[in-house]
């Protein structure tokens, strides 16, 4: 018995020693530089939608489908991120493959998010050619100055990862004094058949640029885009820490001759052309108890007025009534294709508030972050609110459970979406 | 033989004293003041105070000068800083400083201290040998510009660990950047600190975003300013120095409100001039965390320093975070490496 006890103590001690040794081991092979580097993640994301059968967008998109109250969707994603370095040259590619099982059956889509070559001859200059994201702007939920990026979803801003084919460079210069950094990023963006043809008018070479200054501890960017694919646009943004736990940021964007199409309640399409000035003001605040608040106000001058959106919803209702009485869905199809896809934007109207509150590691649960995200449409008083639980405590595994509730009266943006609510689980494994 | 040895010892003991004295003489301290009396209080208007009292390195008042920019409406601070630099001032003391004046003083290579109270007491505080000791400790911990590889381990109450490997580059007093090499979920993330400005770059987000020094990019007990630490002397000054038999105890106070901890209490080994323990405290002396320095080892190129830095906190009871240094090497970098635009390219610095 005593022998067992001694053996147990020895085993425990040796285990403890192994642990202690492990605790402080740092093998140099872990930091070895490899020319070829491949990583990425695998993701499983089931989503359950609770449908709002009386909403305009349900009538528009699912009028000829079953009358179920809920809809399921299963998403499987593989993202591969690889790079190869030789001297000052680097090749980088990100490929994303989505498999989806929804009410439409199985679908598969593979997209090259990024694929470019970089030349980095010095720390003051680099040159890139290929498909690349630029991600301009300081806003968290919206970026009116991101003239060369695909629009992001304010409910999940990290999802917009697909870039455009561009030729770009960075010239960087540091100084002593109030101006600490100056950098200039010129960008050439070709828009032709099969190259960036979803960006704007084809057969044009567009030119854009960004000047970045770190001036008096404030990040400031001046941005422009000119060319035939879109009308000229100019903008600026800033970001600054006020104290060690408080940051403010903002964006201002001018779009010359912005063309907006909208439909009235009779189905007549109108076109309007005007100079649009959009802006965003935001802050990030961290409390002593590790709660982070991100708050933003966004005025989007390219959005629809309340009456324009009401007309659109009213036209859908009319089309749906016609379909029910005669089986004729031509009005619904017209509504669906109306206004060149302007009605498919993530946020349709002009004035929004965004608030995200996240609490780091409450109740001493390491790697656990619950949060709450709200988007409020100030024009029609509809909103979405989404509690979220994120756990990253298992090495390379990220678990996220997210629910979103959409609330609003009739003919309001969030009230007329096709879902009342949705719940999704995201399991992501990084390798 | 004895005489020779004695002479060598005398010379060896005199040289540092002379050097120290010479260093002190070279120091010129300007204090923002509302009067020409050294017994009066420090003015809290660094750029627009009526007078500057200028002291030499021994603490003697040598001059009281009128501030030519006291009534200037715009950019008084930077102009006053240039004015003092022209007078050979190396250190400025005031009740508070504007950001623009801080920038101008830094450009002129001047030190500054935000202090309250009687002027002559403040000068004594700044000339405190503790501050000289702190600067030496900084150089013993790491060269002014270097690259290093660190492993960060968060240990939970049940013994479960989470490890991060970081590549870090630092230049001068105010520039440091770190790149995560593992685990896979964090790979490619980088953080940059340029003085009190901090940014985080996450490849999934695709652009650097400004963060605050009190946040933690990895969770656990270390926060951003622990991971992207600047020289202690750059952020703190020594208020008081205690001498124990084999240790010094330094009581440090943050130079500005934007520094992560208001106060530090630092135990320093007398022989090696390396820290053994640091308590990080709030303004009211509440303990936020304790940092322990262990396992001193040689990293080559005369760098001998603790290879393990542990930390625990009463705010995270039972949790522990450990930082292990595998490699520290002197290396110089261009200033442009420490810019927001360069952040996505940090990996290209690894050799």
> What does the domain layout of chain A look like in residue ranges?
34-430
Please report residues of A whose CB lies closer than 8 A to that of B280: none
Work out the pLDDT band at A67, boundaries 50, 70, 90.
confident
Of A28, A214, A286, the CB nearest to B326: A28
Mean pLDDT of B110-117: 80
Model pLDDT for residues B52-64, shown as the tens digit of each residue: 999 988 888 999 9
CB atoms within 10 A of CB A98: 16
| pLDDT averaged over every residue in chain B | 85
pLDDT of residue B17: 39
CATH class held by domain A34-430: mainly beta
Q: Which residues of A touch B109 (CB under 8 A)?
A: none
Instruction: Tell me whether residues B258 and A241 touch, CB distance under 8 A.
Output: yes
User: Coil, strand, or helix at residue A57?
Assistant: helix
pLDDT at A338 over 50: yes
Residue of B nearest to A294 (CA): B211
Res. A62: pLDDT tops 70? yes
Any A CB within 8 A of B331 CB:
no
Q: How confident is the model at residue A9 (pLDDT cuts 50, 70, 90)?
A: very low
pLDDT > 90 in chain A, percent = 65
The answer, yes or no, to whether residue A32 has pLDDT greater than 80, is: yes
Q: Where are the domains of chain B?
A: 10-127, 138-349
pLDDT at A19 over 70: no
Residue range B138-349 in CATH 2.50.20.10: yes
Chain B residues whose CB is inside 8 A of the A133 CB are 206
Q: How far apart are CA A128 and CA A22, in angstroms?
A: 42
Kindly list the residues from chain A whose CB atom is less than 8 angstroms away from the CB atom of residue B351. Answer: 33
pLDDT of amino acid B214: 65
A395, B162: Cβ pair inside 8 Å? yes
Q: Does B345 contact A126 at a Cβ distance shorter than 8 Å?
A: yes
Instruction: Tell me whether residues B219 and A292 touch, CB distance under 8 A.
Output: no
SS3 of chain B: the string is CHHHHHHHHHHHHHHHHHHHHHHHHHCEEEEEECCCCCCCEECCCCCCCCEEEEEECCCCEEEEEECCCCCCCCCHHHHHHHHHHHCCCCEEEECCCCHHHHHHHHHCCCEEEECCCEHHHHHHHHCCHHHHHHHHHHHHHCCCCEEEEEEEEEECCCCCEEEEEEEEEEECCCEEEEEEEECCCCCCCEEEEECCEEEEECCCCCCEEEECCCCCCCCCCCCHHHHCCCCHHHHEEEEEEEECCCEEEEEEEECCCCCCCCEEEEEEECCCCCEEEEEEECCCCCEEEEEEEEEEEECCCCCEEEEEEEEECHHHCCCEEEEEEEEEEECCCCHHHHCCCCHHHHHHHCC
Mean pLDDT, rounded, of chain A:
89
- Predicted pLDDT of residue B3: 52
pLDDT (0 to 100) of residue A23: 53
Which comes out higher in pLDDT, residue B173 or A49?
Answer: A49
Rounded Cα distance, B128 and B11, in Å: 25
Chain A residues within 8 A of B154 when measuring between CB atoms:
366
Residue A178 vs residues A216, A236, A307, B104, B180: alpha-carbon distances, Å: 5, 19, 48, 7, 30
**B174, B185, B257, B311: which to substitute to probe chain A, counting the most A Cβ within 10 Å?**
B185
B165 with A31: Cβ contact below 8 A: yes
Tell me the CATH class for B10-127.
alpha beta
Inter-chain CB proximity A24 and B295 less than 8 Å: yes
Three-class SS state of A61: helix
B216 touches chain A (CB under 8 A): yes
Q: Residue B21: pLDDT band by 50, 70, 90 thresholds?
A: very low
Q: How far is A148 from chain B (nearest CA, A)?
A: 13
What band does B48 get if pLDDT is binned at 50, 70 and 90?
A: very high
Whether the ω angle into residue B183 lies within 30 degrees of 0, i.e. cis, is yes
Cβ-Cβ contacts under 8 Å between A and B: the total is 174
d(CA A414, CA B182): 41
Of the pLDDT bands very low, low, confident and very high (cuts 50, 70, 90), residue A10 is very low
pLDDT at position B319 = 82
């Amino acid at each position: 018995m005593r022998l067992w006890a001694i053996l147990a103590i020895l085993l425990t001690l040796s285990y403890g020693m192994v642990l202690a040794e492990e605790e402080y081991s740092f093998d140099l092979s872990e930091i070895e530089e490899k020319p070829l580097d491949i990583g990425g993640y695998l993701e499983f994301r089931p989503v359950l939608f609770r449908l709002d059968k009386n909403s305009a967008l349900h009538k528009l998109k699912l009028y000829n489908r079953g009358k179920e109250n809920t809809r399921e969707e299963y998403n499987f994603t593989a993202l591969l991120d690889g790079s190869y370095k030789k001297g000052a040259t680097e090749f980088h590619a990100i490929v994303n493959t989505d498999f989806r099982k929804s009410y439409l059956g199985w679908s598969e889509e593979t997209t090259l998010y990024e694929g470019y070559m970089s030349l980095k001859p010095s720390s003051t200059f680099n040159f890139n050619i290929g498909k690349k994201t630029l991600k301009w702007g300081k806003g968290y939920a919206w970026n009116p100055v991101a003239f060369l990026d695909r629009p992001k979803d304010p409910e999940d801003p990290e999802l917009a990862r697909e870039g455009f084919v561009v030729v770009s460079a960075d010239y960087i210069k540091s100084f002593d004094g109030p101006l600490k950094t100056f950098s200039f990023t010129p960008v050439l963006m070709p828009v032709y058949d099969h190259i960036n043809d979803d960006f704007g008018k084809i057969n044009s070479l567009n030119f854009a640029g960004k000047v970045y200054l770190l001036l008096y501890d404030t990040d400031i960017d001046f941005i422009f885009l000119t060319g035939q694919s879109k009308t000229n646009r100019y903008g600026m943004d800033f970001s600054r820490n006020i104290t060690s736990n408080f940051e403010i940021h903002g964006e201002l964007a001018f779009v010359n001759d912005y063309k907006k199409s909208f439909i009235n309640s009779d189905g007549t399409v109108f076109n309007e052309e005007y100079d649009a000035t959009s802006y965003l003001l935001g802050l990030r605040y961290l409390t002593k108890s590790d709660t982070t608040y991100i708050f933003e106000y966004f005025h989007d001058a390219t959005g629809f007025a309340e009456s324009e959106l009401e007309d659109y919803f009213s036209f859908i209702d009319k089309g749906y009534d016609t379909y029910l009485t005669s089986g004729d869905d031509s009005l619904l199809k017209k509504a669906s294709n109306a206004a060149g896809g302007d009605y498919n934007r993530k946020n349709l109207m002009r004035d929004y508030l965004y608030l995200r509150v996240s609490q780091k590691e409450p109740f001493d649960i390491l790697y656990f972050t619950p949060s709450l995200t709200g988007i409020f449409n100030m024009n029609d008083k509809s909103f979405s609110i989404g509690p979220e639980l994120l756990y990253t405590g298992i090495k390379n595994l990220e678990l996220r459970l997210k629910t979103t509730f959409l609330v609003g009266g009739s003919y309001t943006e969030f009230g007329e979406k096709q879902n009342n609510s949705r719940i999704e689980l995201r399991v992501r494994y990084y390798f | 033989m004895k005489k020779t040895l004695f002479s060598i010892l005398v010379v060896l003991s005199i040289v540092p004293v002379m050097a120290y004295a010479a260093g002190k003489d070279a120091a010129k301290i300007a204090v923002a003041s509302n009067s020409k009396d050294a017994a009066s209080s420090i003015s809290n208007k660094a750029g627009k105070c009526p007078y500057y009292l200028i002291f030499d390195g021994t603490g003697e008042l040598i001059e009281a000068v009128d501030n030519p920019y006291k009534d200037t409406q715009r950019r008084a601070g930077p102009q006053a800083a240039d004015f003092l630099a022209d007078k050979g001032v190396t250190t400025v003391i005031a009740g508070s400083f504007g950001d623009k004046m801080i920038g101008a003083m830094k450009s002129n290579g001047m030190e500054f201290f935000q202090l309250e109270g009687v002027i002559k007491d403040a000068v004594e505080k700044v000339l405190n040998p503790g501050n000289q000791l702190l600067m030496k400790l900084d150089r013993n911990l790491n060269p002014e510009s270097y690259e290093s590889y660190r492993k960060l381990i968060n240990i939970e109450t049940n013994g479960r660990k989470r490890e991060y490997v970081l590549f870090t580059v630092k230049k001068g007093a105010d520039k440091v950047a770190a790149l995560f090499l593992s685990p896979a979920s964090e790979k490619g993330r980088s953080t940059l600190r340029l003085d009190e400005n901090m940014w985080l770059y996450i490849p999934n987000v695709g652009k650097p975003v400004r963060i605050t020094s009190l946040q933690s990019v990895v969770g656990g007990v270390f926060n951003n300013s622990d991971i992207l630490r600047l020289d202690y002397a750059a952020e703190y000054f020594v208020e008081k120095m205690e001498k124990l038999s084999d240790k010094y105890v330094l009581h440090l106070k943050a130079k500005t409100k934007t520094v992560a901890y208001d106060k530090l209490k630092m135990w320093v080994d007398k022989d090696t001039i390396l820290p053994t323990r640091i308590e990080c405290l709030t303004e009211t002396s509440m303990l936020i965390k304790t940092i322990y320095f262990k396992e001193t080892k040689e990293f080559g190129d005369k760098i001998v320093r603790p290879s393990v830095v542990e930390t625990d906190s009463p705010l995270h009871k039972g949790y522990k975070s450990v930082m292990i240094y595998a490699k520290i090497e002197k290396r110089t970098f261009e200033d442009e490496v420490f810019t927001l635009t360069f952040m996505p390219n940090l990996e290209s610095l690894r050799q």
